[in-house]
């Protein structure tokens, strides 16, 4: 793209180098540790599924019975049980759900376990390749109807079958992406509920069956509308890698998968989160799933003008963590938001500068741009005006993923007609703003150029400080989102384990091999 802001390439490069140094220190910890949910995700990808009569998932039953074996990797015990019982995963899962304790089964020869692991991974590999190929084929088939930016909306009824109705309606109105919001506090559950669900507060449970139901529905409407409709869920919280695994199996297209969101906004332990995000991102990268990061949330707890540099610093860190997990830039939907106080003079110019700055720095990334929420009130007319300005900035600065604002934001969960009006507004603005950036130049030492360069300078200084004190300490003292979290505090720390020298995880080996990471252990160091 023709860059307009005059940003310093050397400062951008230095920021990336600092981000790599910062994440490299964390990666050393990640490489030597596993978590209970990494182990459960591994079991899921090998075929563990189902639940017992009390609704406890089979992966949890296995992990609970083998908790002391986590440092060695749980995969060998599940694979061993398949070998010793002579059963297929579905049969073994049924037996486990009825009380079979596989921890008491003597281990087979390691070579037999490796051979069986290869067979199971071949099945997963075939599923993964089929999903990636299907998505690519449909995008190619319908490419003439692809929009730029993609219009992203949410559904959140609590009932997956009602969500399907709303998702289909939104897609037929013009939405390109549908996200199913998770029920309140699911991110704090250390298990994934099983089966289809019809009750939830503020959203719908993320389960593999719910993924399957919504995927089928959106595929149907894709064929009707001749546009590939993308499905999104939330790969965060205490079950981050497991939800990534389910999404890869059921062909989700995007996952919210931030490196620090759970730490800051859900008080999940940072050692747990950093380890989990690496494994979950390898799964997403292998499945060609775009991740969306959560920097927009920073601006709900800190000021969007004063703390804009914290958003950019986090984007650099999220990018570096993602690269370490084998993700290409084309899969990095780094987040930011239109969240400045509307009473600020020339606020629109500041928002424009911020959005264009992100676009110029992360030029190959499908940036995710979030609408105004913090300063929305019950005044639907002002809200509609704010969203119109947001739509203008989105299109004019070439953002790729646009979560639409609703005129009833801050009042209630949007009705069908709220979404329809939001989509109509966005389509009108996008059509009329086409080519805007190619037609304008920005004034030297003007508000837009000065603002973007100021934020980059502040970001560089912040990353220098974070590199000096370490990311754990930076989070502890509240450098991101004005939220302080102690390194050993938060939820889930008891589910983190140092790997034994004999740790075995065939899924990890498979993912690293698929992504070319086995030969790049020292990438970016």
Closest CA to 353 of 279, 448, 243: 448
Domain chopping of the chain, boundaries: 148-448
- CA–chain centroid gap for 256, Å, is 2
Angle at 195 (CA atoms; ends 190, 196), nearest 5 degrees = 115
Beta carbons within 8 Å of 271's beta carbon, 6+ residues apart:
29, 33, 487, 488, 493, 496
Beta carbons within 8 Å of 70's beta carbon, 6+ residues apart:
34, 36, 39, 63, 497
Supply the pTM of this predicted model. Answer: 0.96
Q: Give the β-pairing of 177-180 and 150-155.
A: parallel
Cα separation of 346 and 329, whole Å? Answer: 32
The values of phi and psi at residue 468, to 5°, are: -70, -45
What pLDDT score was predicted for residue 378? Answer: 86
- Do 232 and 178 form a contact (C-beta atoms < 8 A)? yes
- CA–chain centroid gap for 312, Å, is 17
Closest CA to 115 of 88, 64, 78, 79: 79
Give counts: helices (H), strands (E), the chain.
Answer: 20, 11
Other Cβ atoms closer than 10 A to 415: 12
- Write out the catalytic residue numbers: 261, 296, 368
Q: Which residues pair with 233 in a beta bridge?
A: 255
Cα separation of 459 and 449, whole Å? Answer: 16
Token pair in block for residue 119: 């067979």
Q: Which residues pair with 231 in a beta bridge?
A: 178
- Do 24 and 520 form a contact (C-beta atoms < 8 A)? no
The answer, yes or no, to whether the previous bond of 149 is cis (omega within 30 of 0) is yes
The values of phi and psi at residue 164, to 5°, are: -60, -45
Beta carbons within 8 Å of 249's beta carbon, 6+ residues apart:
44, 45, 124, 127, 131, 208
Task: Read off the DSSP letter of residue 190.
Answer: S
Cα separation of 110 and 126, whole Å? Answer: 24
List the pLDDT tens digit at each of the 525 positions of the chain: 789 999 999 999 999 999 999 999 999 999 999 999 999 999 999 999 999 999 999 999 999 999 999 999 999 999 999 999 999 999 999 999 999 999 999 999 999 999 999 999 999 999 999 999 999 999 999 999 999 999 999 999 999 999 999 999 999 999 999 999 999 999 999 999 999 999 999 999 999 999 999 999 999 999 999 999 999 999 999 999 999 999 999 999 999 999 999 999 999 999 999 999 999 999 999 999 999 999 999 999 999 999 999 999 999 999 999 999 999 999 999 999 999 999 999 999 999 999 999 999 999 999 999 999 999 988 999 999 999 999 999 999 999 999 999 988 877 777 888 999 999 999 999 999 999 999 999 999 999 999 999 999 999 999 999 999 999 999 999 999 999 999 999 999 999 999 999 999 999 999 999 999 986 443 333
Token pair in block for residue 75: 């995969």
Token pair in block for residue 176: 């390109």
Cα separation of 245 and 286, whole Å? Answer: 10
Element (H, E) at 470: none
What pLDDT score was predicted for residue 524? Answer: 38
What pLDDT score was predicted for residue 519? Answer: 64
Q: With respect to CATH, is domain 148-448 assigned 3.20.20.440?
A: yes
Cα separation of 471 and 456, whole Å? Answer: 19
Token pair in block for residue 22: 């910062």
């Amino acid at each position: 793209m023709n860059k307009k802001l005059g940003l310093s390439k050397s400062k951008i490069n230095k920021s990336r180098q600092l981000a790599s140094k910062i994440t490299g220190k964390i990666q050393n910890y990640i490489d030597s540790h596993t978590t209970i949910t990494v182990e459960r995700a591994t079991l899921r990808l090998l075929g563990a599924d189902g639940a017992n009569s009390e609704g406890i998932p089979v992966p949890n039953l296995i992990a609970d019975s083998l908790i002391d074996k986590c440092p060695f990797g749980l995969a060998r015990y599940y694979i061993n049980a398949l070998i010793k019982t002579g059963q297929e995963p579905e049969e073994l899962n049924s037996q486990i759900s009825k009380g079979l304790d596989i921890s008491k089964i003597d281990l087979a020869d390691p070579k037999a376990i490796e051979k069986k692991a290869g067979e199971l991974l071949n099945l997963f590999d075939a599923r993964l390749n089929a999903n990636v190929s299907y998505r690519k084929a449909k995008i190619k088939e319908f490419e003439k109807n692809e929009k730029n930016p993609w219009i992203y909306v949410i559904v959140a009824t609590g009932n997956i079958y009602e969500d399907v109705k709303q998702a289909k309606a939104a897609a037929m109105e013009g939405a390109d992406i549908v996200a199913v919001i998770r029920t309140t506090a699911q991110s704090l559950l250390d298990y994934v509920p099983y089966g289809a669900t019809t009750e939830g507060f503020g959203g719908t449970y993320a389960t593999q069956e719910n993924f399957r139901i919504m995927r089928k529905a959106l595929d149907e409407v894709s064929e009707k509308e001749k546009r590939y409709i993308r499905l999104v869920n939330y790969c965060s919280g205490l079950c981050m890698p497991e939800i990534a695994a389910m999404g890869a199996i059921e062909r989700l297209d995007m996952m919210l998968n931030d490196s620090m969101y759970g730490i800051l906004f859900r008080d999940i332990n940072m050692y747990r989160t950093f380890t989990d995000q690496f494994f979950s991102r390898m799964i997403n990268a292998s499945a060609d799933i775009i991740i969306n990061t959560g920097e927009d949330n920073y601006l709900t707890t800190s000021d969007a003008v004063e703390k804009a540099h914290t958003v950019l610093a986090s984007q650099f860190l999220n990018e570096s963590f993602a690269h370490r997990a084998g993700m290409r830039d084309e899969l990095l939907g780094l987040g930011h938001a239109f969240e400045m106080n509307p009473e600020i003079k020339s606020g629109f110019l500041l928002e424009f500068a911020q959005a264009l700055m992100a676009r110029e720095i992360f030029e190959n990334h499908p940036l995710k741009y979030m609408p105004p929420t913090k300063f929305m009130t019950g005044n639907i007319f002002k809200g509609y005006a704010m969203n119109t300005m947001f739509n203008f900035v989105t299109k004019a600065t070439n953002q790729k993923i646009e979560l639409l604002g609703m005129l009833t934001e801050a009042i209630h969960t949007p009705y069908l007609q709220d979404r329809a009006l939001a989509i109509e507004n966005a389509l009108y603005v996008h059509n009329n703003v086409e080519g805007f950036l190619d037609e304008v130049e920005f004034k030297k030492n003007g508000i837009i150029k000065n603002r973007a360069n100021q934020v980059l300078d502040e970001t560089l200084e912040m990353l220098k400080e974070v590199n000096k004190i370490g990311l754990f300490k930076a989070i502890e003292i509240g450098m991101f989102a004005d939220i302080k979290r102690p390194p050993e505090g938060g939820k889930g720390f008891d589910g983190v384990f140092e790997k034994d020298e004999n740790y075995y995880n065939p899924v990890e080996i498979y993912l690293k091999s698929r992504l070319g990471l086995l030969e790049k252990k020292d990438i970016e160091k």
